[in-house]
Amino acid sequence: MRQSDFRRLSLILLFAPFALWILLLIVLPHIGMGVLALREKVAPRVYEFGFGNFLEFLHEPIYWNTLIRTGSMSLLVTALALLIGFPIAYYIAKIAGPRSRGALFLVCLIPLWVSDLIRAFGWILLLRETGVVSSVLQAAGLVDAPVELLYNDATVVIGLVYTVILFMIVPLVSTLDGMDNAMVEAGYNLGGSGFTVLRRIIVPYAMPGIVAGCIIVFMLTAGSYLTPILLGGKYSSWFTETIYQQFITRYNWEGGAAFGFLLLAFTSAVVWIGLKLSRQTLAGTVAKS
Amino acid sequence: MLQRKQNWGFLLGYQAYVLAFFVFLAAPLAAAAAFAFNDSLFPALPWRGFTLDWFFNDSEPKLGMFHDRRLLRGLYYSFVIATGVALLSVFVGTCNAFLFVRREFPAKNFLYIVMVVPLVIPGVILGISILVLASSVANGLEESYDVDLGFLRPGIALVVLGQFSFIATITSLVITARLRKFDATMEEAALNLGASRARVLTTITLPYLRPAMIAAGIVAFLVSFENFNTTLFLVGSETPLTITMFDRMAKAGSTPVLNAISFFLILGSGLLALVSVVIQRDRSGG
């Protein structure tokens, strides 16, 4: 009898940190944010329950345009990260020799631990009007005057791909690592072309890694703040910037909470659709990587 | 292997692509680091000669990073925050590992997914939701009971909690993965030989987990140190380094002292990341 009491007590003790963490720092804050978003300001210091903050979002095209822009650019970044990253991951996992494999993977991992801020700073130094690329182009006689390569959408997309691509490569490498080379061999022996082997064998096998990478990359991109602001300038129209303005600049917490909720709902919906389309689960992808 | 089936031209092109990718990966880091050693007031070309002034010079206009009070204070706050987050996350991560690997309880699979979710919530949202809850609790207590709880206002404590809210997921996953590989017969053997449960835990299980706990702690420290999105909303008057650097970067005409501190951080995080990889590889035995 004493033994089972002890086990129950220890289970409660082990469970407590988990419960406190999830309840106090995840569940309750999100409920609080939802409640705040549903408070409508009718007069100074007077509030009413209502959907006014969400209606304001619908009435102002600039707000939902920004959200749609953020979402579509994030999807573009995710697709580019997958296209650029997959060959790299395949090279590391399957083609590089056993000795260079570890080194290549490590070289891939180290930039992951350097702050986004420093990486964006590096891009600024390279691309701005007085930057390295502009100076080199002038010295080579390719352009006559300094060229400004910052503050346009292409630069923001490239910068974002750069910031997140390692989060695509790491899960891909760990999935592809587990693939038996004999499967690829068999595909060729049965007469498949390189493309058929890729489409019928390698991609289906790597699907959990692909989905995990895409989810992490999409969420990181849609929630990013530094890269769009620093590389796109003040008018980069990124939705996190809109949220920040509501909260800090305009001190409109109700509106900011509503926008935060919309960003969360929007990104979760995209991830959910992605999981359904690829017939994967969150537990089978992100949790494993 | 694939390359036997393909011609050499394809493989050569493939290797050139991989090489180009690594150049792309290194270019901004190289630019950020290199200008720390340029003897010029601006982080830009032309190259005016090598100098260490941006690290050690003690007077304006070339104030080096080790004499820049605000940057040093930022570094200190970041260090305090990251240490707090790392200790807290490793503790909770270890508890979670034992909870999910060793115990059976209702809705276990569902709760495991719940544990992973904080990692995919955008950092900005975590920041504002915790800010909203902490502020409304603090305001409520102040109005009803006239007590002012300082740690619920934006500041270091709130930043630690905000970062911990998603970093705990990372440490939990790392330590859980290690505990799953543990051979339970080792514990049984010790118990059969007469050891108490506490003794088995401290002499067998925890030493086995130690590499994963150290690696998870390093990862937590680094993620906390470089975090910006969550911190931005929770920061008080004690600004950590990333926020201080961002404020200067947003202003035009920053001096290469930012490059010096970037070089310092690249070197530091690179070394720590290397240590965490080596620790995990050394004893896991594959």
- Identify which of A25, A122, A194 has the shortest CB distance to residue B161: A25
Could you tell me if residue A150 is inside a domain?
yes
Q: Which H/E stretch holds residue A46?
A: strand A46-49
Q: Do B266 and A32 touch (CB under 8 A)?
A: no
β-pair partners for A46: A43
Same domain, A21 and A118: no
How many domains does one find in chain A? 2
Q: How far is CA A130 from CA B12, B247, B250, B270, in A?
A: 36, 20, 16, 29
Contacts within 8 Å (CB) and 24+ apart, A44-47 = A47/A254
Q: Do B124 and A106 touch (CB under 8 A)?
A: no
Which two structure tokens, joined as six digits, stand for A174? 């760990």
Same domain, A26 and A169: no
- Nearest-Cα distance to chain B for A127, in Å, is 10
Q: Which of B15, B23, B25 is the mutation pick for testing A, counting most A CBs within 10 A?
A: B25
C-beta neighbour count of B159 within 10 angstroms = 31
Q: Which H/E stretch holds residue A40?
A: strand A39-43
pLDDT in tens, A51-76: 777 887 788 888 888 899 999 999 99
Same domain, A14 and A79: no
Could you tell me if residue A145 is inside a domain?
yes
Could you tell me if residue B158 is inside a domain?
yes
DSSP structure string for B155-168: SHHHHHHHHHHHHH
Give the phi and the psi of residue A42 in degrees, each rounded to 5: -100, -30
Same domain, A12 and A147: no
pLDDT value of position A170:
86
Residue B1 pLDDT grade (very low, low, confident, very high; cuts 50, 70, 90): very low
Nearest Cα residue in chain B from A288: B173
In 3-state terms, what secondary structure has residue A51?
A: coil
pLDDT in tens, B166-195: 999 999 998 998 898 888 888 888 888 888
Could you tell me if residue B45 is inside a domain?
no
- Identify which of B44, B116, B265 has the shortest CB distance to residue A131: B44
- Identify which of B25, B91, B129 has the shortest CB distance to residue A111: B25
Could you tell me if residue A7 is inside a domain?
yes
Q: Which of B81, B120, B275, B278 is the mutation pick for testing A, counting most A CBs within 10 A?
A: B120
What gap in Å lies between CA B284 and CA A189, rounded to an integer? 37
pLDDT value of position B38:
79
What gap in Å lies between CA A228 and CA B202, rounded to an integer? 48
How many domains does one find in chain B? 1
Residue B102 pLDDT grade (very low, low, confident, very high; cuts 50, 70, 90): confident
Q: Do B116 and A286 touch (CB under 8 A)?
A: yes
Place of tokens 């680091």: B33
Does the CA dihedral A123-A124-A127-A130 come out positive or negative? negative
What gap in Å lies between CA B181 and CA B191, rounded to an integer? 19
Q: What letter would DSSP give residue B50? A: B
Chain B residues with CB-CB distance to A112 below 8 A: 273
What gap in Å lies between CA A84 and CA B17, rounded to an integer? 10
Same domain, A76 and A185: yes
pLDDT in tens, A172-222: 888 888 777 777 777 777 877 777 777 777 888 888 889 888 988 998 899
Same domain, A21 and A98: no
Q: Do A264 and B122 touch (CB under 8 A)?
A: yes
Q: How far is CA A108 from CA B18, B170, B254, in A?
A: 11, 19, 29
Tell me: pLDDT of B3 over 60: no
Could you tell me if residue A71 is inside a domain?
yes
User: Number of A:B CB contacts under 8 A?
Assistant: 228
- Identify which of B15, B125, B164 has the shortest CB distance to residue A264: B125
pLDDT block averages, 10 residues each, chain A of length 289 = 77 90 92 87 72 80 87 94 92 82 79 83 86 82 80 88 89 84 78 76 84 89 88 82 85 86 90 83 62
**Which residues of A, range 172-211, sit inside 8 Å of B by Cβ?**
181, 184, 188, 194
Same domain, A71 and A200: yes
Residue B203 pLDDT grade (very low, low, confident, very high; cuts 50, 70, 90): confident
Q: Do A29 and B129 touch (CB under 8 A)?
A: yes
Place of tokens 């292997």: B1
Max CA distance (Å), chain A? 87
Could you tell me if residue B34 is inside a domain?
no
pLDDT value of position A197:
77
Same domain, A251 and A190: yes
Tell me: pLDDT of B162 over 90: yes
- Nearest-Cα distance to chain B for A93, in Å, is 11
Chain A residues with CB-CB distance to B22 below 8 A: 107
Residue B284 pLDDT grade (very low, low, confident, very high; cuts 50, 70, 90): very low
Q: Which residues contact B238 (CB under 8 A, 6 or more apart)?
A: B73, B77, B155, B156
Q: Do A240 and B42 touch (CB under 8 A)?
A: no
Could you tell me if residue A43 is inside a domain?
no
Q: Do B44 and A271 touch (CB under 8 A)?
A: no
Could you tell me if residue B3 is inside a domain?
no
pLDDT value of position A161:
93
What gap in Å lies between CA B154 and CA B60, rounded to an integer? 33
CATH number, position B229: 1.10.3720.10
CA neighbor of A223 nearest in space, from A285, A267, A167: A267
What gap in Å lies between CA A209 and CA A288, rounded to an integer? 9
β-pair partners for A40: A48
Residue B6 pLDDT grade (very low, low, confident, very high; cuts 50, 70, 90): low
Could you tell me if residue A240 is inside a domain?
yes
Range of the domain at B124: 54-284
Give the phi and the psi of residue A47 in degrees, each rounded to 5: -125, 150
Q: Do B29 and A125 touch (CB under 8 A)?
A: no
Contacts within 8 Å (CB) and 24+ apart, A142-151 = A150/A124, A150/A231, A150/A233, A151/A231, A151/A232, A151/A233, A151/A236
CATH number, position A266: 1.10.3720.10
Could you tell me if residue B236 is inside a domain?
yes
Range of the domain at A29: 1-37
- Lowest mean pLDDT, pick from A204-218, B166-180, B208-222, B243-257: B243-257
Q: Do A94 and B2 touch (CB under 8 A)?
A: yes
Same domain, A22 and A99: no
